[in-house]
A = this chain, B = another copy of it.
Amino acid sequence: MVRRTKAEAEQTRSLILDTAEKVFSEKGVSRTSLADIAQAAGLTRGAIYWHFANKVDLFEAMLERIELPIESLQADIAEQADPLTALRDFWVRAFHEVVDDEQVRCVLSIMFHKCEYVDEMSVLLHRRDHTCCSLVEVMTQAFEKARRQGLLAAGVEPGLAALALRNFVLGTVSDWLFAPQHYDLKSLAEPLLELLLRGLRAQPR
């Protein structure tokens, strides 16, 4: 291979990132060398070092390509009449995306089970921390809105409910990715979330 055009170079960059997702998810981040990724991509380490400073830099670039659409969740909550249903639908869609989108599934399984949260990965640490906090904040707003509308069951604290829902959602994705063959997340997504939310909705009388 020799000098390619700019567009082709961008293509090999994407190829490296695509390959990294696969190899990382198979061998784990720390057990895969840059030579492993290069070989799997049909390149050499030279190509990787041209596009990325080192393995951590490549890993971070890989993470950058997917993100949780929190603003979208916030918009859903603001727009829709029933914030609890908005929450449910958002997470059902998210679960469906996890099942259907191989890239999302791959990267999430890396983040949950194929990497180590240590100092060296400070970007990863802060990303996850930030996402966790944002989720609780936005979902707390949803439960507060529900309470104002009389849609929240009595005695349910919005902050606590948001915490519980976050833990449940992340736990569900994590556990399912660990053993996807154990059950069909796509068909159980809505029933599972409805089970959680049924106790939080105000009882009609």
Residues in chain A within 8 A of chain B (CB atoms): 26-31, 113-120, 128-129, 132-133, 153, 156-157, 160-161, 163-164, 166-172, 174-176, 178-179, 182-183, 188, 191-192, 195-200, 203
Contacts and interface: CB of A to CB of B under 8 A. Distances in A.
Main secondary structure of the interface of A (DSSP, over half): helix
Given A160-B195, A200-B199, A175 B132 contact: yes
Contacts of A166: 171, 175
A128 B200 contact: no
Given A116-B114, A116-B115, A198 B199 contact: yes
Contacts of A175: 132, 166-167, 170-171
B188 A129 contact: no
A133 B188 CA distance: 17
A178 B30 contact: no
Nearest to A110: B116
A92 B131 CA distance: 26
A36 to B, nearest CB: 13
